[in-house]
Amino acid sequence: MKTARIAFEPLLEDRTRRLIVDSLDNFNMTITGIREFFPVNFVVCGQSGEILGGVLGHVWGGWLQVTVLWVAEEIRGLGYGTRLMESAETYARSQGAVGATLETHSFQARPFYERLGYEVFSTLEGYPLGHAKHCLKKTLL
């Protein structure tokens, strides 16, 4: 292909997003030779089936990568976040993960993750402006 165009797509179709993510994942697996990839998705469902929280991530390369943890305001402080993280970590261990990693901002849940045994290994000050982004890890052995 000699020519191509770059298009701004503020509302990307899920199919397009999946193509981009899957293509990068396939590249990474090909280069490293590590093909084992396990999605990690646990949700909290209310009595009527409504979604009240969840943890999303994956296990690849011997690590659990938590990408999202969210619990609805009305059930925060009731232990659901802890149970979601424990579920993800237990599943990750069953798939051979030796560690877990995640990112959080200074205005989010750093103390929560630290209570679960995560430790900060990097901080990016000023992201977003006036705050910081923290990278955390935990040994799962």
Q: Where along the chain do its domains lie? A: 36-139
Amino acid at the residue 116: L
Amino acid at the residue 105: H
> CATH 3.90.180.10: does it fit domain 36-139?
no
pTM above 0.85, yes or no: yes
Q: What is the pLDDT of residues 17-31, one digit of tens each?
A: 999 999 999 999 999
Cα–Cα distance for residue pair 121/117, rounded to 1 Å:
13
**DSSP states of 56-116:** EEEEETTEEEEEEEEE-GGGTTTTHHHHHHHHHHHHHHHTT--EEEEEEETTTTHHHHHHT
**In this structure, are residues 92 and 40 in contact, taking their beta carbons and an 8 Å threshold?**
yes
Q: What is the pLDDT of residues 40-73, one digit of tens each?
A: 999 999 999 999 999 999 999 999 999 999 999 9
